[in-house]
Structure 1
Amino acid sequence: MKLLSFFFLLLAFQSIHAQDNRTISITLDKATAKYFTTDPIIRAQVDSAFQIATAVFNSAEFQKEIGNMTFHCKSYCTGRAKIDTNSAGRISGKTVLDTLFKERSLKIGFELKQKDGPLGLTTPGAFTTTAWYEPIQESMPEFHSFAYALAVSLCHEYTLRAGFCRLYCVGGWLCNPKKRLNEKNNKPDERFIGEDVTYKVKWAVYYLLMDWKKNGIDPFKGR
């Protein structure tokens, strides 16, 4: 009986340990990638951004930050009936991580445009992401690096690919004033940071990368 109890305890430990060590590899599909420029430096920065995004998702800090939260059930929009919710009708952080890490290795279709667009665009459940170079550069100048800024955007866009969707809007005549994003002094909108998976992931990645840069942590060396 003691041996059997030990066996089940070991299985439980392994299960918990496995959940604490989720990994994913998000890479650029170079065969289909499109760019507005032939500049090799910008193209290299795109490659680096995918590596940084992978490092962030695989970090213990990111997984702990998301894993300890719950989100509004409407934050998942692809097959909502298939997403698990807790007794309060909210999506647990564990379920979010399980969804983000469902695919362990994948290539992302990608197009980089120059200007006159949002930071990024991905239809929930789609397999291609579009990014705009100048808006991304202008939105996060504090990184002094297009690769880091693009990595933030890529992580946000990946949540859309995984089936999550925004609960907010950023402008335009179709934007409900009650859902219009209101960020001040480079701080997140408190109405959405604890409700919207896509929004929380974006800011979690932003703060984590700022912390890494401040403390000289290199995402390319593995952690």
Structure 2
Amino acid sequence: MTTITAPPRAAVRTADLTRIYGSGDTAVRALDGVSVEFPTGRFTAIMGPSGSGKSTLMHCAAGLDTVTSGHAWIGGTDITTLNDHDLTVLRRDRVGFVFQAFNLLPTLDARANILLPLRLARRRPDRAWFDRLVEVLGLADRLDHRPAELSGGQQQRVAVARALVTRPEVVFADEPTGALDSVAGTDLLGFLRRSVDEFGQTIVMVTHDTHAASYADRIVRLADGRIVADEEC
């Protein structure tokens, strides 16, 4: 199959993206022809009420869910044309993920959890980059601890370090502060903001929280599977 390419003017781009679940009278149109760009080096929040399609948009744009029609690009690669193997490799090598559930492996310590994506890709870690992430995230004295020995905020910071250790083109964050208290959530949002300002990272974050969205450069609002507002912060 020929892969459609597009100029990498944005870290992520979608064109007429549609996602329908079910069929016939029970069909649900979660996304209805969404076209949007997420620029490189910026922090974008996706907001909307429950059922608006915000998480579906992120999952389709990240290659975590299949699309019914339309296209999604990461850089210049049309991910909607990739087979399962190539899509897995792309997500592993070029995308970082931070979820509300920390998704850490309980048998591995913090260091091994952070380095896991590189281990799976058989890539050597950049020691200076690893050390900088650990320092900025305040994890230097927790690297030998397993997830059960860490607080919720510390576990989420390990998850963020894991998402950034490969220097991905984009980090997708789905309600990353949802399981954290207000102090830990604010600390995490501050680091995500710094990762954009200091590291040039691109972040696309789904959130229902206006406080979390205030850290973004831009807010894209969805309702009924369509973009209803696109605001610079």
Greater RCO between the two (CA within 8 Å, min separation 6)?
2
TM-score by length of 2: 0.25
TM-score by length of 1: 0.26
- Whichever structure has more helix as a proportion of its residues is 1
- Whichever structure has more strand as a proportion of its residues is 2
